[in-house]
A and B are shown apart, each in its own frame.
Chain A
Amino acid sequence: MNKSKKRKEFVKQPPEFDLAILGGRVIDPESRTDRIADIFVQGGLIKKISPGKAKGKSRTQVRVKEVIDAKGKIVVPGLIDMHAHLREPGREDEETIYTGSCAAVAGGFTSVCCMPNTEPPIDNQEAVKFVYDKAKEAKCKISCIGAVTKGQKGEELTEIFDLVQAGVVAISDDGKPVSNSQVMRNALEYCKMFDLPVISHCEDANLSSGGVMHEGLVSTTLGMNGIPSVAEEIMIARDLKLAEFTGGRIHIAHVSTQGSVNLIREAKRRGIKVTCETTPHHFTLTDDAVKTYDTNAKVNPPLRTRKDVAAIKRGLKDGTIDCIATDHAPHSVEEKEVEFDFAPFGMVGLETALGLVVTELIKKRILSWPQAIAKLTTNPSRILNLKSGRIKKDFPADLTVIDPKASWIVDPAKFKSKSKNSPFGGKKLWGKVCYSIVDGKIVHSM
């Protein structure tokens, strides 16, 4: 009897939701969701998740401002990169927080943690405030990681309480190891007060000294100075012992060797509070990539052997490796277009990470979609205590919509990042980012 009245209301009333993402395969590793569903967003938050329909029109009849048809697509929590170098302050010619965020959202990341090895390093409250101030104009969420030691010199602890109050989510001297065991012990013990993880770049600087690539048959034939696997493993062993002794939380950055995976697996079995990450390049490439002296393949830790890549994949599969992080390290063409020995370490990764995960891990059946997504969302979120990383009512609407069946060819010239130092140019990857959504706003669309 009220039919006509209702219709009138429908026209008059403002929309109930700002955004609806309809009919996609929604994967939320935290709640173990993996089903077709509709997601409704209002005021930057996820307000409703209801069962959707794979085909045809969605059952739900609601008023929305903007609709994304996600049929055939995968909808996941916005990806989190817990390890990136955004170079600001100091090397704005290579990347800024803004350009880094553009690269991030193009690659499906809605949260990026930036490492403190800038010039000057992020080792005090003012520097953290500077990063968060710059982050206001960024396209995605930025979380700041503070330095472990003043000036990243490996000697005196930074004012960690101050850093925590300014909002750091972890501390790390990444790029450099904390060589002094006493300093590392102190950091782990001190951070217990804040439940803050210490992210460790594990490298014995004496063993790796002068090295430019993995030490093995390839370095031997090329006559280049090698970085042996043990340079990483010795430091991991030390840090695991220190974590066990202090009860502090250690997170091992960019795990690259078979021995490292074995050490961490064993430590987890014994109940040590350790988490770790690997990078897309470490599960994709081997030291063969250096044979053409491609300085874009010069990275630290170096690309290892097939045996190591296989061990990394096993570690990802059995859960030893919690996270996949890019270690996005932009460098200018001028710096990279030099003798291999003189080129800086690092490659960009924000815009190729998801494609490599899909191509190398999901398509090759190393990981299922939910397992892979957990390593890019839930797990880093848990380690760093972030609000993002889940699809849940009343949580921020940070979402990534992926077309799993689309393929593309990597063209570094088209990267949003200021730097183009990727060894993956010309590689065909599967999995394309259709939309990146931050706080309910579409910040990137294909």
Chain B
Amino acid sequence: MKLRSRHLLGLEGMTREEINLILDTAESFKEILERPIRIVPTLRGVTVVNLFYEPSTRTRISFELAEKRLSAEVVSFSANTSSVRKGETLKDTVRNIEAMKIDMVVVRHQCSGVPYFLTQCLDSSIINAGDGAHEHPTQALLDLFTIRAKYKEIKGLKVVIVGDVKYSRVARSDIWGFTTMGAKVAVCGPTTLMPYEIEKMGIEVYDDVDEALEGADVVNVLRIQLERQEGGLLPSLREYTNKFGINIERLKKLNENFTIMHPGPINRGVEITPEVADGPYSVILNQVTNGVAIRMAVLYLLSGGEAKVE
């Protein structure tokens, strides 16, 4: 089996079989990562460009490691968006880069739709490493991978996403991913940070976190940004913490064997207390470890690889 598209723009529209293919492939790579020599020659001769128009630590290092462990040739580019905007257009920049003969582009950009835009002006395979508040598919895939590894089956789990849903690309990719895999998804956050008509995405919407957590198996805590207070969407972070912060007390509402996730970076003491973030039920660091395997799987499959890794 192969993926239907040569790009990974988002999880919207991706089938359960395709997601399983990526997760299964990632299993094989995870084994490789546990070997003493963690490099395979799978992508030898393939050139990958990492185009990061927005700051990133985790995702960028994770992609670079994934590429290097597959023996790809890697070039990374980061741009101060404002200076790029003044001068060369995005289209010119990427076409110039492609003129240097490349095969794949991993792109992170603060504008929704940029990965799609690149598919229209380049021949390379495009991987979305996060576009605006649209999607962050590899993050959702590693979330799915982490949860599947723990529960064996995603179907039937109740997953609650708490926080700034409106500006979260992780939330959207998780909603598509978890609902496609048969989980029951709920979102919870301040009404000012809930995008219009989100209930129409086939999920439940809560503004009371205790109600939302009732009987949940997985809680994905989103980062809350100071800008939201500055933009007038939140009166204060303090108030957010009181109403939505995930603390030990609130965990009592959850099912036994529950899991806490966070896509990072964490604002300790704001959206999550340190005890919860570091608790035994927290898989936050497992998520990061699994990120490399997932990205290896995506790179491998999009470069034309099939399910079996040799």
Interface string of B101-114 (1 = CB under 8 A from A): 00000000101111
**Bound-state Cα–Cα, A224 to B201, Å:** 15
Interface residue B195 (Cβ < 8 Å from any Cβ of A)? yes
Assembly CA distance A83 to B172 (angstroms): 39
Q: Which of B109, B169, B195, B201 contacts A219 (CB 8 A)?
A: B195
Q: Which of A220, A338, A342 contacts B196 (CB 8 A)?
A: A220
Taking a contact as CB atoms under 8 Å apart, the answer to whether B114 and A223 are in contact is: no
Instruction: Tell whether B31 is near chain A: CB-to-CB under 8 Å.
Output: no
Q: Are A223 and B196 closer than 8 Å at their CB atoms?
A: no
Identify which of B85, B116, B169, B198 contacts A220 (C-beta below 8 A). Answer: B198
Which among B66-74, B129-137, B279-287, B288-296 touches the partner chain? Answer: B129-137
Known interface pairs A217-B200, A293-B116, A341-B111; A223-B132 also in contact (CB < 8 Å): yes
Q: Which residues of A (201-244) have their CB < 8 Å from a CB of B?
A: 215-217, 219-224, 226, 228
A9 within 8 A of B: no
Instruction: Check if A340 is an interface residue, CB within 8 A of chain B.
Output: yes
User: A340, B197: Cβ atoms under 8 Å?
Assistant: no
Find chain A residues with CB under 8 A from B196 CB: 215-217, 219-220, 226, 228
Knowing A215-B196, A339-B90, say if A223 contacts B109 (CB, 8 Å): no
CB of A92 closer than 8 Å to a CB of B: no
Contact A223 B89 (CB under 8 A): no
B117 within 8 A of A: yes
Q: Is the CB of A220 within 8 A of B195?
A: yes
Q: Which residues of B contact A133 (CB under 8 A)?
A: none
Q: Is B91 an interface residue (CB 8 A)?
A: yes
**Assembly CA distance A341 to B111 (angstroms):** 6
**Is A4 among interface residues, defined by CB-CB distance under 8 A?**
no
Alpha-carbon separation in the docked complex, A216 to B132 (Å): 17
B12 interface hit (Cβ, 8 Å): yes
A180 within 8 A of B: no
For window 161-207 of B, CB contacts with A under 8 Å fall at 167, 169, 172, 195-198, 200-201
Assembled-state Cα–Cα distance A334/B201 (Å): 35
**Which residues of chain A are within 8 angstroms of B133 by Cβ–Cβ distance?**
223-224
Give the Cβ gap from B137 to chain A, nearest Cβ, in Å: 13
Partner of B116, one of A228, A292, A334, A341: A292
Q: List B contacts of A215 (CB < 8 A).
A: 196
Q: Are B91 and A220 in contact (CB under 8 A)?
A: no
Q: Is A337 an interface residue (CB 8 A)?
A: yes
Give residues 315-368 of A contacting B (CB, 8 Å).
Answer: 334, 337-342
CB of A338 within 8 A of CB of B90, answer yes
| CA A340 to CA B85, docked complex, whole Å | 13
Decide if A337 touches B89 in the complex (CB within 8 Å).
yes
Q: Size band of the A side of the interface?
A: 20 to 34
What is the CA–CA distance of A341 and B227 in the complex, to the nearest angstrom? 19
Nearest chain A CB to B150 CB, angstrom units: 28
- Chain B residue nearest to A226 in the complex (CB): B196
Assembly CA distance A69 to B111 (angstroms): 55
Question: Are A337 and B195 interface neighbours, CB within 8 A?
Answer: no
State the Cβ distance, A194 to closest chain B Cβ, in Å: 41
Give Cα distance in the complex from A292 to B113, angstroms.
8
B114: nearest chain-A partner, CB-CB: A339
User: For residue B111, which residues in chain A have a CB less than 8 angstroms away from its CB?
Assistant: 339-342
**In chain A between 283 and 340, which residues have their CB closer than 8 angstroms to a CB of chain B?**
292-293, 334, 337-340
Within 8 A of A (CB), among B73-118: 85, 89-91, 109, 111-114, 116-117
A222 and B169 alpha carbons, distance in the complex (Å): 9
**Does B197 contact A220, Cβ atoms closer than 8 Å?**
yes
On whether the beta carbons of B132 and A341 are closer than 8 Å, the reply is yes
Complex interface bits, A180-197 against B, C-beta within 8 A gives 1, otherwise 0 = 000000000000000000
A223 B200 Cβ-Cβ under 8 A: no
- CA gap between A386 and B78 in the complex, in Å: 57
Tell me which of A222, A228, A292, A334 contacts B112 (CB under 8 A): A222
Known A-B contacts A215-B196, A334-B89, A337-B91; the reply to A221 vs B172 at CB < 8 A is yes
Task: Please give the distance in Å from A94's CB to the nearest CB on chain B.
Answer: 17
Q: What's the nearest-Cβ distance from chain B to residue A60, in Å?
A: 58
Q: Across the two chains, which residue of chain A brings its CB closest to B175?
A: A221
Q: Which residues of A contact B197 (CB under 8 A)?
A: 216-217, 220
Q: For residue B121, which residue of chain A has the nearest CB?
A: A337
The distance from the CB of A346 to the nearest CB of chain B, in whole angstroms, is: 18
Contacting residues, chain B, for A337 (C-beta < 8 A)? 89, 91
Residue of B85, B91, B112 touching A223 (CB-CB under 8 A): B112
Contact check, A339 vs B134: say whether CB atoms are below 8 A apart: no
Q: Which of A252-285 contact B (CB under 8 A)?
A: none
Nearest Cβ on chain A to B110's Cβ, whole angstroms: 8
> What are the residues of chain B within 8 A of A226 when measuring CB–CB?
195-196
Of the residues A217, A219, A222, A342, contact of B85 by C-beta under 8 Å: A342
Inter-chain contacts of B85 with A (CB < 8 A): 342
| Closest beta carbon of chain B to A233's beta carbon, Å | 15
A223: chain B residues within 8 A (beta carbon): 112, 131-135, 167, 169, 172, 195
Complex interface: chain A residues within 8 A of B132 (CB): 223-224, 341
Asked whether, in the complex, the Cβ of B195 is within 8 Å of the Cβ of A293, the reply is no
Report the minimum CB–CB distance from B105 to chain A (whole Å). Answer: 15
For the complex, give the distance between the alpha carbons of A20 and B65 in Å: 78
Q: Which residues of A contact B134 (CB under 8 A)?
A: 222-224
11 A-B Cβ contacts within 8 A?
A216-B197, A219-B196, A224-B134, A226-B196, A228-B196, A293-B113, A293-B116, A293-B117, A341-B112, A341-B132, A342-B85
Apart from A292-B116, A340-B112, 5 more pairs, CB < 8 Å: A221-B12, A226-B196, A293-B112, A293-B116, A342-B111
Residues of A within 8 A of B (CB): 215-217, 219-224, 226, 228, 292-293, 334, 337-342
Q: Which 3 A-B pairs have the closest CB atoms?
A: A223-B133, A293-B113, A223-B134
